[in-house]
Amino acid sequence: MMPINSVKSELLTSLRSKSLVRGDFTLSSGAKSKYYVDCKLTTLDSNGAWLVGQIFHNMIRAEEEARGVKIDGVGGLTMGADPIAIATGMVSKWANDAEPLQVFIVRKTPKQHGQTKQIEGNFSAGDRVVIIDDVVTRGDSTLRAVDAVKQEGGIIEFVAVLVDRMEGGKEKIEAAGIKVISVFTKDDLLNSHVELRERKDFVAA
């Protein structure tokens, strides 16, 4: 496996080339933007997923050690968090962790049939978990996942995101008492001479 700094550099290159788009966008928050970060083009790419999994696994284990806690699982609001959480869990198994990180998915609304779950996968009340997100803008979708997990008895240690758009979301989440760590910020992605692909009049969900 490559050194983690090399993995991070390759991931940044991938995000810039595959996921960063210039144009006129309406974000899910309603805000307007001249660029959009479609992280799923990277996180759902086979090589991108491998890179993301390594980075998040390394970042989560480092924060876990610093806090002196044991993290049981990772997950977040579908669907931006899903590929990151799955990749992180798979790398955890590949790395031969004594107890690999389990993975869960938070539905936007509870399932209307069967077990009527809002949280799917390997999650139980009392688990210490990390809430994952691909992009944090104003923090609302991340906090929806936080609230759902808390309601089901989960203990949230911190939030880990791929890209912080630096538009107040991190501060909003931390004001709720939850630390946020990120792999990259908006400045990391935009501080480049890379030519951005162009699309216009796009509504970003």
What are the tens digits of pLDDT across the range 109-138? 876 555 568 999 999 999 999 999 999 999
Please, which residues have CB within 8 angstroms of residue 73's CB and are 6 or more apart in sequence?
Answer: 101, 102, 103, 104, 122, 123, 127, 129, 130
CA 89 to chain CA mean position, Å: 13
Please, which residues have CB within 8 angstroms of residue 175's CB and are 6 or more apart in sequence?
Answer: none
- Please say if the pLDDT value at position 193 is more than 60: no
d(CA 102, CA 131): 12
- Please say if the pLDDT value at position 200 is more than 70: no
- Average pLDDT for the chain: 90
- Please say if the pLDDT value at position 18 is more than 50: yes
- Please say if the pLDDT value at position 102 is more than 80: yes
Please, which residues have CB within 8 angstroms of residue 27's CB and are 6 or more apart in sequence?
Answer: 33, 36, 137, 204
HSE-CB for 75 with a 13 A CA cutoff: 30
Report which of residues 112 and 105 the model is more confident about: 105
Q: What residue type is 66 in one-letter code? A: A
Residue 93 belongs to what domain range?
A: 4-203
According to DSSP, the β-strands at 119-121 and 102-106 are antiparallel
**Rounded to two decimals, what is the model's pTM?**
0.89
Most confident of 17-26, 106-115, 144-153: 144-153
pLDDT tens figures, 20-65: 988 888 877 677 888 889 999 999 999 999 999 999 999 999 999 9
CATH of the domain at 129: 3.40.50.2020
d(CA 185, CA 166): 7
d(CA 110, CA 11): 34
- 198: which strand partners? 22
pLDDT band at 192 (very low <50, low <70, confident <90, very high): low
Signed CA dihedral, 121, 90, 169, 176: sign only:
positive
The count of domains in the chain is 1
Least confident of 17-21, 69-73, 86-90, 91-95: 17-21
Give the neighbor-by-neighbor strand order of the sheet with 102-106: 119-121, 102-106, 73-77, 128-136, 155-164, 180-185
Q: What residue type is 59 in one-letter code? A: M
74 token code pair = 């990772």
